[in-house]
Amino acid sequence: MDEVIRRRIRFHGLVQGVGFRYRARHAASAVGATGWVRNDPDGSVAMEIQGTEAQIDRVIRMIERGMYVRVERMEQKTIPTEPDERGFETRSGYDW
């Protein structure tokens, strides 16, 4: 079985007002990843996602295929996993 990891990702580009968070939640649920996504005040979208490398890559590809979504840049870092987390949610607030 592949190792479960957690990534904090910030997406820049045309990522707000284009269904990005809906797509992220739908894609993560479809592949079995957990975490959250939110819009930030600088126009970027922040996400923490937990799953295997393959699951996370698949979610990102699914988001980027979205009509109107244009990811110009991503900042990623691996962070500690949250073993008790269940599901993937849309959040509000800006506590990056």
The answer to the question of residue 91 being in a domain is no
Instruction: List beta partners, residue 76.
Output: 9
What distance in Å separates the CA atoms of residue 17 and residue 30, rounded to the nearest whole number?
Answer: 22
The answer to the question of residue 96 being in a domain is no
The answer to the question of residue 79 being in a domain is yes
Which pLDDT value is given to residue 96? 46
Which pLDDT value is given to residue 9? 98
The answer to the question of residue 14 being in a domain is yes
Domain residue limits at 58: 5-85
Q: Is 39 among the catalytic positions?
A: yes
CA distances (Å), 59 to each of 28, 41, 42, 79, 94, in order? 6, 23, 23, 18, 22
Q: Is 21 among the catalytic positions?
A: yes
The answer to the question of residue 52 being in a domain is yes
> 23, 25, 38, 39: which is the annotated catalytic residue?
39
> 7, 21, 23, 58: which is the annotated catalytic residue?
21
Contact, 85 vs 6, CB < 8 A? Answer: no
Residue pLDDT tens, the chain, 96 long: 689 999 999 999 999 999 999 999 999 999 999 999 999 999 999 999 999 999 999 999 999 998 899 999 999 999 999 999 999 999 986 554
pTM of this structure: 0.91
The closest alpha carbon to 16, from 36, 38, 34, belongs to: 38
Angle between helices 20-31 and 53-64 (to 10 degrees): 150
Q: How many domains does the chain have?
A: 1
**CATH number of 37's domain:** 3.30.70.100
The answer to the question of residue 57 being in a domain is yes
